Structure formats: C-alpha cells, structure tokens
Chain A
Amino acid sequence: MIAVENLSHHYGGQPTLLDLGFRLAPGEKAVILGANGCGKSTLLKILDGLIAPGAGRYLYDGEAITPLRLKAGGLRRRFRQEVGLLFQNPDVMLFNPTVADEIAFGPRQLGLADVDDRVAHWAGKTGVTHLLPRAPFSLSGGEKQKTALAALLAVEPKLLLLDEPTAALDPRSTGWLVDFLAGLKQTVLCSTHNLSLAPELAPRALVLGEDHRLLYDGPIERFLMDETALVQANLAHIHSHRHTYFRAPAHHHHPLKKGVVEHRHFHTHDW
C-alpha cells in the first residue's frame, strides 16, 4: 500500500529523517517508535503528503506523493479521502463550530447523501455522541482526540496515520482505543513513545533512532527484548536508584527481607 524509499528530510540544515526505507501492506498495522525529536511527526506529515521529502520517494499505491503532485485534482481527491492523519495536537485540525459539523466536514465535501447517519454512526463508535452539539475547542484533550478520530473515520479512509493518539487519553480511553484499532480493517501506522502500549497497538515496529535513521523494522516483541537496541533508541536507560522492597525479585540476589537497597536497574520510559 505504501512504499518509502531512501527517504530523507531536513529542517534548515538539521536532519530530521535519514535514508528511511520500508513498506506497508494493505491492512497491515505498525507502530513508529522513537524518542522525542527523532522525526516521528515529520515522517507522518510526509506520508500524509503535507511536506515534501528532501530526498528519496514516497509511493502510495504506486503513485509518488508530494505536496506539489497533490495539487492535481484527481490524485488529491483520491489521496485526501483515502489517507487520514490524526495530528499530535488535535487542535490544529478542528475548526468547525460543533462536533457534529466537524464529523460532517469530510462527508459533506464528498457530497454524500447520508451525512447525518454517518455522523451519528461514527460519533457512536468513538463515544462522542453526547458531545455532538458542543464546540470542539471547548473539549478536553482526550475528547478532542476522539472527535478528530471520528472526523477522519467518517470519510472511510484506507490508511490511518495516528500521531501519538494515546498521549491525551486516560487509561480507560487508552484501552478503548487499543480495542478499537484492533477492530479496524484499515492500514494503520501509529506513532508512540509508550513502550508498554506499543505491542498492543500493532505487531510490527518501525523504530527511529536518535540519529534519525531507521534503527529497527520487525516484530515488536523482539525489539522490546533487545535491551541494547532499546537503550540505543533512547527509549530506555540504565541508572542507579533506590528500591524499597519486601520480597527480593528472583534476578536480584538480595536477602529476603524488607529493606532499601541501591542497585543498578534497567528502565523503560512509559510516560
């Protein structure tokens, strides 16, 4: 469905992405993992045809995509309907007076007849029915994210690009999103730096390193077991700290009693 070939991107001389290459088959789900600033959002914007790759190519269904090529009516219409991006900051994609109008925005552009039914359907699916008359800007972060998601789904895209969709969600909504995505038939590419959540979102991981290159592409479980790779991607670190414990964990050879022990400990970031 998508193919990325030798793709690089710079912001004013600073590299943001270097020589990336991967493919995604129709219906496949993958997560993009990477520390802050390694280029996740930039990659998703390129895949949504919003910014041009500096070098290399991005093909959607065999068609090279750049902002320039999307100026042509036919390709643009198909691409914008089939590909949806949930921005990291959902504020930037919500500009209609009510949540209902927001969800109807896409279907109206397509001139669909059953706009109201679609709004009701997707509002129900994403749990924002009770918010329909509200103004999107007045909602909480998580509610905005669900509204934006409903607005994207209402045009039934084939490829969903999600930029840290769980960042503003509480645990219950996060659980809901995990189940919801699992039930979608769409191709989904989702960025996150939440390691414990990642394997629930997709079986495949694309890991961007701090050098802005693709550090790993493959089954997520294997990446998560590779401590060296985790540290290299700056998604985990090793540091000394103090533990209060009641029972010694099997891998630590501490006496079996309550106490405080300082030791080195392998850590992943989940925040």
Chain B
Amino acid sequence: MPALPVDRARLIAYLTALVTFSFLTSPLWLGAGLAAVLALAGRQGPRLLRRALLATLAFSGAASATYAALSWWTQHRLPLDWLLAANLRVLLMALLTFLFIARVNLFRALDFSRRLTFLLTLAVSQSLGLRRTLDDFRLGLHSRAIRPAGLKARYRAAARAAAWLLDRALANAHESAQALQSRGFFK
C-alpha cells in the first residue's frame, strides 16, 4: 500500500477530529481538545487562537445570549454547562479549521480525485473573481467621488455590491452546475 501523502493524511485527521469534537459534550474533554490543538499549532498557536476567538465571538456571543435569556425566562436558571460546552466547541472547531488551512495544501490533499480538485478549483477561482469585482466596486465609487464619498453614497455602493455579489453567486452556482453537467460531471 502506498504511503498516504501528508496533506491527505491531515485532511482525514481534520475531518475525523471535527466529527469527534461535534459529539463531545463535556467541557472537560473539549478543554483537553483545545489544549491538544494548541500544542499541535506550536508557535502559531496564540495567533490562531486570537483569530478563532475574533471569528467566533460575534456568533457565539449572540447565540449564547439568546439561549441564556430564553432559559432564564422559561426555567429561571442559567444553563452554564451547556453554554460553556457550546462556546468551547465552536472555538475548538474554528481553531482546528484555521490550523488546517494554515498547514494543509487543499489542492494536494484532494488530488486523489479529479472531481474534487475540479470543484475546489472552481470554488477558488470564483471567489477570487468575485473578490476582484468587489475591489472594483470600491474603486468605482472612489473614481466618481469628487469629494470624499459621503455616508449615503458609501452605503448605497456597498448595498449594490452586496446585491450584485448575491446575484452573481447564485447565477454562478447555477451556471457552474450547468457547465459541470454539460461536461458529464453528475452522471
């Protein structure tokens, strides 16, 4: 049996860990998982942890507050265990994902399947293309702003860009699916 390429081994480890963590409910185990991932990350640990915290803060904060308020209102108690476990889990998964992205070349991890590589290429090229156009929206406003653009113009331009992005993402998804179909991808 040929040795597993390192990127693919990491992909498998990542997916396994992700699934495992989603089954853990004990804050203790989740805390241990967090410590393990941090140890794996080594010197990159603190930076990745900070990014993971920032990325999950808004979502976790809002979800926790809503849930806490709800249970206080209906059961007159705070589900501290649940809150701790949920937040730890989200953080752990985010941290693991950031570590994964930092360490693994997805193209190499997926190169066993032409189809998966193809899908990844499609996704990456589309997001690059979309990002470029979003940049152009910013430049478009800039080039027409004789005076520094006011709040209203900025807001409108951003809203147009967002609407355009949504439209385009949907149209792209539709077209990509058709293109894949026409190239015999779904057969």
Contact = CB atoms under 8 A, between A and B. Distances in A.
B147 A77 contact: yes
Given A87-B136, A89-B136, A95 B156 contact: yes
A76 B156 CA distance: 22
Nearest to B156: A95
Contact of A80 (B140, B145, B157): B145
A95 B157 contact: yes
A76 B153 CA distance: 17
B145 A109 contact: yes
Interface string A144-173: 000000011001000000000000000000
A80 B149 CA distance: 12
A25 interface: no
A95 B141 contact: yes
Interface string B151-174: 001001101110110000000000
A137 B162 CA distance: 12
B140 A109 contact: no
Interface in B89-139: 133, 136-137, 139
Given A137-B160, A137-B163, A137-B164, A92 B136 contact: yes
B187 to A, nearest CB: 32
A32 B109 CA distance: 43
Contacts of A49: 143
Contact of A96 (B143, B156, B163): B156
Given A89-B133, A89-B136, A95-B153, A50 B164 contact: no
Interface residues of B, number: 20
Interface string A97-136: 1000000011001100000000000000000000000000
A92 B145 contact: no
Nearest to A151: B144
A143 interface: no
Contacts of B141: 93, 95
Contact of B146 (A45, A80, A89, A96): A80
A81 interface: yes
A109 B147 contact: yes
B146 A95 contact: no
Nearest to B160: A95
B102 to A, nearest CB: 19
Contacts of B153: 95, 105
B179 to A, nearest CB: 20
Contacts of A92: 133, 136-137, 139-140, 161
A83 to B, nearest CB: 8
A115 to B, nearest CB: 14
A48 B142 CA distance: 10
B164 A105 contact: no
A95 B160 CA distance: 6
Contact of A109 (B146, B159, B161): B146
Contact of A45 (B139, B147, B161, B163): B139
Interface in A58-106: 76-77, 80-81, 84-85, 87, 89, 91-97, 105-106
Given A95-B160, A137-B163, A105 B144 contact: yes
A94 B159 CA distance: 11
Nearest to A94: B160
A101 to B, nearest CB: 9
B9 to A, nearest CB: 30
Contact of B142 (A50, A77, A89, A109): A50
A107 B94 CA distance: 49
Given A91-B164, A137-B164, A80 B143 contact: yes
B140 A93 contact: yes
Contacts of B142: 50
Interface of B: 133, 136-137, 139-147, 153, 156-157, 159-161, 163-164
Interface of A: 45, 48-51, 76-77, 80-81, 84-85, 87, 89, 91-97, 105-106, 109-110, 137, 151-152, 155
Per CB-CB distance, the 6 closest pairs between chain A and chain B, nearest first, are A93-B140, A92-B140, A95-B157, A95-B160, A92-B136, A80-B146
